Amino acid sequence: MSEARAEVDIAANLARIRERIGRAAERAGRRPEEILLVAVAKGVTPARIRQAVAAGVTDIAENYVQEAAAKRPEVAEAVRWHLIGHLQRNKAGPAARLFDIVHTLDSLRLAQALGRRAAEVGRRLDVLIQVNTSGEPSKSGAAPEEAERLAEAVAAVEGLRLQGLMTIGRWDPFPERARPEFRLLAEVGRRLQAGGLEMRWLSMGMTHDLEVAIEEGANLVRIGTGIFGPRGPQPA
């Protein structure tokens, strides 16, 4: 770990992020307490995760199943673990054991594999459907027009509990340009909720665009560098 990374004040960073969340929530006529802050710990050591937990973080996200498997025993804290990276079907077994919420369901086949593995260990796993609202080929996720059909199918899978939707806004130095994508996810969520499906979470918004996401309805934001600072080398 570099000296610069070691000097990051995680508690101070968290306070700044919570202040940003609060201001965005107030602009949207919402209470800051409605917004769940999930700390993204990709490439972050267990010791630094423990610092974040000591500063009030209750939810930790990882991008990779194997990274979570290595770190979770060392964290040993009463937090919820989120998977926010793409999940391959051959990792469904460990994912069903390790995580409390999986954000990245994008096909019925994956949902069935994950549900089967969760049921085998006596769990009912909370899941979100990832929707590719930007249309970028590089991003995973169901197309918005397919989300309703997929959500209805996932809601019926044994071992899973559908809890909402997730998207990743396009990267742009001007976060305002991602607003239509966040607005689209909220619209899809409203349609699904009107159809009787559980839409507890709209997972959207990261360090650079959390304000726009919250203004468009996000109630779960995924914050990495805003808490832990710039990342070092990442696992392959």
The 10s digit of each residue's pLDDT in 5-30 is 457 999 999 999 999 999 999 999 99
| Res. 58: pLDDT tops 50 | yes
- Tell me how many domains the chain contains: 1
Q: What is the reported pTM?
A: 0.93
For residue 197, being part of any structural domain is answered with yes
Residues contacting residue 107 through CB under 8 Å, at least 6 positions apart:
142, 150
For residue 236, being part of any structural domain is answered with no
For residue 233, being part of any structural domain is answered with no
| Mean pLDDT, residues 89-100 taken together | 97
What is the SS3 assignment for 220?
Answer: strand
DSSP H or E segment with residue 182: helix 179-194
Task: Report the DSSP beta bridge partners of residue 90.
Answer: none
The 10 Å Cβ neighbour count of residue 136 is 13
Task: Tell me which residue range forms the domain holding 26.
Answer: 3-228
For residue 40, being part of any structural domain is answered with yes
For residue 112, being part of any structural domain is answered with yes
For residue 234, being part of any structural domain is answered with no
Residue 48: CATH number of its domain: 3.20.20.10
Q: Which two tokens stand for residue 132?
A: 């590719």
Q: Assess contact for 129 and 147: CB atoms under 8 A.
A: yes
Task: Report the DSSP beta bridge partners of residue 223.
Answer: 39
For residue 168, being part of any structural domain is answered with yes
User: pLDDT-derived band of residue 221, with 50, 70 and 90 as boundaries?
Assistant: very high
Angle at 96 between CA 153 and CA 130, to 5 degrees: 45
Residues contacting residue 65 through CB under 8 Å, at least 6 positions apart:
83, 87, 91, 94, 95, 98
